[in-house]
Amino acid sequence: MPSLKRIVCLANSWKLKERCIAGIDLDTGKWIRPVCEKYTEDGRVPREVRLVEGKEPELLDILGIPLADTGTDFGFECENLTILSGRWQILGKASPASLLSFLEKTPVNLNYEDYILHNSIKYVNVSYLQSLPFPERRTLQLIHATKFCVQQKEGNKGFREWKGTLETSDGKRLTDAKITDPVFIKKLESGYQIKGEYLVTVSLSLPWAYNNWEGEPPCWKLIAGMIEISESPNEQNDLIVQTDQEIERIGWDVTQGRRYLQHKFNKQSRQQLTLWELTQFLNYLKSLPDDSDPPSESKIY
């Protein structure tokens, strides 16, 4: 019987006139990219396979997809699992706030704290990825962009393309990355104005090089999924209630909580925190045992 995996959809992006679907497995916290055996060179997912009741999967949909436990890696992708026969399902909907915890599950030994997908430039060479142990050949990453801007530029075939530049709160930056999220592109072409903060799925392309490129064809960093983080009062209040419960459990008083917020976020109260910062604070509190003393300033950073 096929294994139905529960994936929160974080990318449904253009791939050679079809789509690349990717998301995080809610049971393991790991990225999955479903690949179709029909397309042996790239694994793109055709319309007749991916549609659910005639509709495209949307970002934040929780999908049930029949998948094998392995898949063609095309020489460098560790996230790929082969699509098996069976019907795709929509099992529910995730909220942006519920995904913020996945940003903190980055393994520290993969340089992900320092870079967006392996390095500070706009591409990664296949030879570098192949030099890594297989589980570290990451080609997908979820980014919290506190700054984001877009512009249209001429692409390699003379067509106009949307390019995005993003920056994280800790200064990681990606410049002029091609946007392949069709829903976000349609919004931009309809006059959508960039605002607030975003969760961004960054993906690596298949190897490709410009004319007269020197060296091996690289994998380019793409902006494959854009999710706007709205500062919903209901979500913020819910997170504050959860932090109240955790603070009571560990036995902190108001002064101890404020001291942590001041040292960690340079803010005096939880009402001043963003959703991302509130989630960070909540996850930290959950990691503490009962009746814990606040950390010293040196251990906060």
CA–CA–CA angle 7, 8, 11 (5° rounding): 105
Intrachain domains 3-95 and 98-229 with the same fold? yes
pLDDT in tens, 105-133: 444 444 455 799 999 999 999 999 999 99
Q: Which residue has the tokens 């997912």?
A: 45
Tell me, what's the pLDDT at 238?
85
Tens of pLDDT, residue by residue over 220-252, are 999 999 999 876 667 788 889 999 999 999 999
CA of 164: how far to CAs of 76, 151, 180, 184, 186, in Å?
25, 7, 10, 11, 14
Query: Which of the four CATH numbers 2.40.50, 1.20.1070, 1.10.10, 1.10.3470 does domain 98-229 have?
Result: 2.40.50
What is the rounded CA–CA span in Å between residue 255 and residue 298? 18
Residue 198 pLDDT exceeds 90: yes
For 116, 135, 190, the CA distances from 120, given in Å and listed in that order, are 7, 21, 32
Q: What is the pLDDT of residue 224?
A: 98
pLDDT in tens, 257-292: 898 999 888 898 998 888 778 888 988 898 898 877
CATH 2.40.50 correct for 3-95 = yes
Whole-prediction pTM: 0.82
**Exposure class string for 91-113: b at 16+ Cβ within 10 A, else e:** eeebbbbebbebbeeeeeebebe
The domain ranges of the chain are: 3-95, 98-229, 233-300
